[in-house]
Structure 1
Amino acid sequence: MDNEAMVTVSRVGKTYGRRDNKVAALDDVSVRFPGGRFTAVMGPSGSGKSTLLQCAAGIDRVDSGEVELAGTFLNKLSESALTKLRRDRIGFVFQAFNLVPSLTARQNVALPLMLAGRRPKRRDVDAALDRLGLADRRRHRPGEMSGGQQQRVAIARALVTRPQVLFADEPTGALDSRSSRQVMDLLRELVDQQRQTIVMVTHDPVAASFADEVLFLADGRIAGSLEAPTPELVAARITKLEEQQ
């Protein structure tokens, strides 16, 4: 699937509010996210980047246009079919780790499989944790781990179902710089070694520099892209977009 579009967003529009208070979060947006690649999505506050991620992931339904994930058109699915697709084919990582405090790392990672009615295989759960450097934290609860370790557990949980796409919304937003670097190194490794497709929303130019490409949004529209990004180039582009608002 490398270089073929894993996710295609075609002429998508999304509006929030009613009547006089309507706000166009996305305005005729078209973009493709290639398989086996790491794409970062950036833009000024209110640019529509989180809305784009939520629509691309099937969390939010579009008002117009189409979203296709590996041959499946999301807007044609029923709510139950969409829930199943998200559960089986998509992984999510958020700024808030969303771990269950009373469960161990191993139990938190196994949870999506259990909720899907599948019996988790311990070797699969442990392999997901081991891959993220958490072999010695399997029996630890979230309160016994650092923020960076908790986010790695959340990533392991997202990957245990072997998703076609991993969507990440500000995954380093609650972390210090050292933990952020560890998480971004891991995401980069997933792309380079396992050809995982990753779409990440971030406000951090350093985090964005780990991506293959940065997509910029402004006022609900695509405002350009940047291949082989560096923190300096990303920061300069964001500053320019903010000045134009």
Structure 2
Amino acid sequence: MRRTGTTRTGTTQTTGQAVLLDSVRMVHGTGPGAVTALDGVSLGFAQGTFTAVMGPSGSGKSTLLHCAAGLDRPTDGIVLIGGVDLGPLGEKALTLLRRERVGFVFQEHNLVDALTAEENVALPLRLAGRRPGRDEVRAALAEVGLDRRAGHRPAELSGGERQRVAIARTLITRPAVLFADEPTGALDRAASRVVMELLRALVDAHGQTVVMVTHDPAAAAYGDRVVLLADGRLAGELDRSSATEIAARVALLEETC
């Protein structure tokens, strides 16, 4: 990765940014068959805000999320989480940073079927060598409204409840940033609304920073802003908008791509 120093900020500012991407490029493959998934993206995610990322299929949404979260290393550019430049970090240091500062929620909840909700929530701390207190785990479940379901296994929970357990599992580590990749993609409308209201409440009541990739304008409407991508580049932003306004903007973007 090209290194140009962590003080260069392109069109973004580091102050108050939980995550910062500066001139980030991601190229898959080499030669004539190379595919540019991100093409010089500079973008910041402010602390205590909720950002939805949208765009046509193949626009680079998931690649952006993976680079911002430190799951993938970009071909070029700078990524900072909490002011820490991820570029120079070795794999061990990067894994530790993700464990301590970053939370993930995916479309599939990825719970361990043999464990109860309580045990699933405690798992990240156990993997980190900590022995979580029962009150700590119950408090995380209470944040998602499932403290009374602590002893239930995933098969005994609805799809929406399983996703809320996955969010509690993320919250137990108190991440600086919560990244969500299509968190309502496998849920019905009612369950989706509960999950989105929960994510919104985490931002409003606890100052959690949330960055979410979604194809659903109704989900994106819960965000403070919507970032639009097309062909791996920024294609505009919307401040807090209705689902109808967001859907119209995305449809227009798809027509021009």
Q: TM-score range by the shorter chain?
A: over 0.9
Aligned partner of 2:93 in structure 1 is: 81
Q: TM-score, normalised by structure 2?
A: 0.93
2:127 paired residue among 112, 115, 120: 115
Aligned partner of 2:203 in structure 1 is: 191
Percent identity between matched residues is: 59
Amino acid corresponding to residue 47 of structure 1 in structure 2: S
Alignment partners' CA distance in 1, 2:193 and 2:58: 26
Aligned partner of 2:185 in structure 1 is: 173
Aligned partner of 1:208 in structure 2 is: 220
Instruction: Look up the SS of the partner of 2:87 in the other structure.
Output: helix
Q: Which moved more, 1:126-135 or 1:16-25?
A: 16-25
The within-5 A match list for 1:21-170 is 21-170=33-182
Amino acid corresponding to residue 181 of structure 1 in structure 2: R
Runs of 4 or more, structure 1, over 3 Å off, are: none
Alignment partners' CA distance in 2, 1:98 and 1:19: 36
Deviations 1:115-152 (A, max 9, x none): 11111111111100011110111000000000000000
> Offset of 1:103 from its aligned partner?
0.3
Amino acid corresponding to residue 232 of structure 2 in structure 1: G
Instruction: Look up the SS of the partner of 1:75 in the other structure.
Output: coil
Alignment partners' CA distance in 1, 2:26 and 2:35: 9
Amino acid corresponding to residue 123 of structure 1 in structure 2: D
Amino acid corresponding to residue 75 of structure 2 in structure 1: D
Alignment partners' CA distance in 1, 2:163 and 2:30: 36
> Offset of 1:17 from its aligned partner?
2.3
Instruction: Look up the SS of the partner of 1:215 in the other structure.
Output: strand
Task: Give me the CA root mean square deviation.
Answer: 0.8
- Aligned: 1:244 with 2:244: no
Aligned length: 243
Aligned partner of 2:30 in structure 1 is: 18
Alignment partners' CA distance in 1, 2:156 and 2:33: 45
- Runs (5+) with no aligned partner, structure 1: none
> Offset of 1:111 from its aligned partner?
0.4
Alignment partners' CA distance in 1, 2:34 and 2:134: 49
Aligned partner of 1:226 in structure 2 is: 238
Alignment partners' CA distance in 2, 1:220 and 1:136: 44
